[in-house]
Structure 1
């Protein structure tokens, strides 16, 4: 049941400016992916040219979505972001399906995965944090030190953000600036001081001949046709996951100054900054590492392999520190923004009632701590790695619905104030919908076992919604 008017008088403080919003976009997008996923991309498409094509294509797709979201964020500059857009364009059912998928898997699953990535790289600096250090063993259920450290960081960041949005803002801005400077420093150091001309020449000879690397890494088998298409789709799972969470800034619209202008501008600036960093980082990899070394870097840690050429034996420690900073900042942005969705859902009677209340620091602490507990539980399952495929699948479904909502709202609310209109409308939004639909269908076809669970997750929320509605009517 939606809260009564007198119960919702508290208001969030508009503490965040354009720089803060842009740093939230960048910080939420850059986690551990850029340091790792290029290995899997290279195994699927083989060559340097195709590796860069995948990252550029991902950046273009992400930018098209971000530019389209600008119109929606300007129309509805309040907490909840994508949840609000779906409710306005469709109905509460579609918004509910998104909100609960967001809580059950999309946001909390990502928080868990990023937290464990932080812990795994912390083990480079202090070995007892390793996932091989089993602290509790009950048959097949095991708890390791890496999981405990991940949970500790999630609780710490939740506590910091429960003390006011200003605290989360400061951490986010500082860590993201450090992250950007560190990545540019790594790229420049690699291209200037560790450039290997023979490796560059070899990698970029026939650079646009696609292929797949054999298991032992010594040979690349040329591919084409449907095999190439399947390889591109599989490769883009990692790059899209690494470029996701750009829309988190829309969830905190209620705390951004001049949101009609700053949200859309932060989406544009943030996605461009991240795309440039990702493409340059991969160009640097191809200037230092032979393609077979990228494809078969130990544990897929491409950045570690590259840094050893750049910095010598200290490279592993430097990259571990960079990834810890990157993932810590990334999770801060995810934790900060995610709770605002549950806050708005609760105000509509679609989440725990207490989540609609703000604490004395004007932040939704109930939503923060509920998110914290579930994300921590996902850390303990050990299944977060398996979520990657169907997280992306579910995310794409709701991105498609949200951007299609622009067309719907142009018809149903033609007179609504639109301070900003979607760039390139109707062509850019329509092109995004087509590309995302192709990716979604291909993922469902080629990765049915994982993406099928994502589809099932969304569908099973439908009866939950109607049972909830019936309960509320009987209660009244």
Structure 2
């Protein structure tokens, strides 16, 4: 044959009605499960308002409030200057928390500092910030909290305030960090429930301390407040060091923005 025979291309014909039915079925199953196509890759929104408050309070009310007051008093040298440092740092922290609350409602994406820096200045500053937080800031702060908890636990068991049981304290701290990491990876709802228990215990403990202090003052023990600024250390480096201790005690106000994508109603 001089001319090649043209072989017709076989194109499969889809049943349009059946194809549409399958698509509609998939969409209905997706809607029934509470997930749309745009939210299929998002984190599950399982944290309510109470869990969100517990996460923030649990992060702020930590070991810092129990270990830093004595350090601030020793650095500032007076009760008056120490109270001024606490007040000024508290105002600064409140302003930062309000800014982050606004950012959390405008950009409901998990990531906190990383997410906001990435949207504002690009990937490089966001990556550097995340690297510093991961390798330095978060690791150091979490280790201090875990060691403080284990130290108090060992002291409560042994009945002495000064112990040399460094190995048990370190092992307990490592176990606490491992358990906390496992719970965060396994199910965020568990973390919210645990936070509620610990936040309640912290609030009760702080309430007891405040009430005891007020009763102590009411009985006329005001000697430390008669000359509140006597012996104050006005050296700038000392005040900066005291502010650093105070910021550590207030630390945790931005933690809620790390899980804002998992909140059921982030505007609340």
The TM-score by the shorter chain falls in which range?
0.7 to 0.9
Choose from 65, 73, 79 the match for 2:104. 73
Q: State how far apart, in whole Å, the 2-side matches of 1:85 and 1:91 are.
A: 9
Q: State how far apart, in whole Å, the 2-side matches of 1:174 and 1:128 are.
A: 25
Q: State how far apart, in whole Å, the 2-side matches of 1:52 and 1:98 are.
A: 32
Residue 167 (structure 2) pairs with residue 122 (structure 1): no
Higher helix share goes to which structure?
Answer: 1
Q: State how far apart, in whole Å, the 1-side matches of 2:196 and 2:92 are.
A: 26
Q: State how far apart, in whole Å, the 1-side matches of 2:77 and 2:107 are.
A: 44
Choose from 33, 38, 49 the match for 1:18. 49
TM-score with structure 1 setting the length: 0.45
Structure 2 match to 1:237: 244
Q: State how far apart, in whole Å, the 2-side matches of 1:35 and 1:80 are.
A: 29
TM-score with structure 2 setting the length: 0.79
Distance 1:96 1:51, change over 3 A: same
CA positional deviation for 1:37: 1.3
CA positional deviation for 1:199: 3.7
Q: State how far apart, in whole Å, the 2-side matches of 1:67 and 1:38 are.
A: 25
Choose from 206, 216, 220 the match for 2:227. 206
Q: For 1:37, what is the secondary structure of its paired residue?
A: helix
Choose from 17, 34, 51 the match for 2:65. 34
Structure 2 match to 1:287: none
Structure 2 match to 1:256: 263
Residue 179 (structure 2) pairs with residue 148 (structure 1): no
Distance 1:190 1:87, change over 3 A: same
Q: State how far apart, in whole Å, the 1-side matches of 2:237 and 2:85 are.
A: 13
Give aligned pairs, total.
230
Quote the RMSD (CA, aligned, Å): 2.4
Q: 1:50 touches 1:210 (CA, 8 Å); kept in 2? A: no
Residue 187 (structure 2) pairs with residue 164 (structure 1): yes
Q: 1:131 touches 1:145 (CA, 8 Å); kept in 2? A: no
Higher relative contact order (CA 8 A, sep 6+): 2
* Structure 1 residues 269-296: Cα deviation after superposition (integer angstroms, max 9, x where no partner): xxxxxxxxxxxxxxxxxxxxxxxxxxxx
CA positional deviation for 1:125: 2.4
Unaligned 5+ runs, structure 2: 1-36
Q: 1:160 touches 1:167 (CA, 8 Å); kept in 2? A: yes
Q: State how far apart, in whole Å, the 1-side matches of 2:55 and 2:62 are.
A: 12
Q: State how far apart, in whole Å, the 2-side matches of 1:105 and 1:26 are.
A: 23
* Structure 1 residues 29-56: Cα deviation after superposition (integer angstroms, max 9, x where no partner): 1111222211221122222221211111
Distance 1:42 1:255, change over 3 A: same
Structure 1 match to 2:196: 173
Q: State how far apart, in whole Å, the 2-side matches of 1:128 and 1:183 are.
A: 21
Q: 2:85 touches 2:243 (CA, 8 Å); kept in 1? A: yes
Matches within 5 A, 1:98-113: 98-113=129-144
Q: State how far apart, in whole Å, the 2-side matches of 1:74 and 1:211 are.
A: 42
* Structure 1 residues 327-354: Cα deviation after superposition (integer angstroms, max 9, x where no partner): xxxxxxxxxxxxxxxxxxxxxxxxxxxx
Q: 1:128 touches 1:145 (CA, 8 Å); kept in 2? A: no
Q: State how far apart, in whole Å, the 1-side matches of 2:230 and 2:99 are.
A: 33
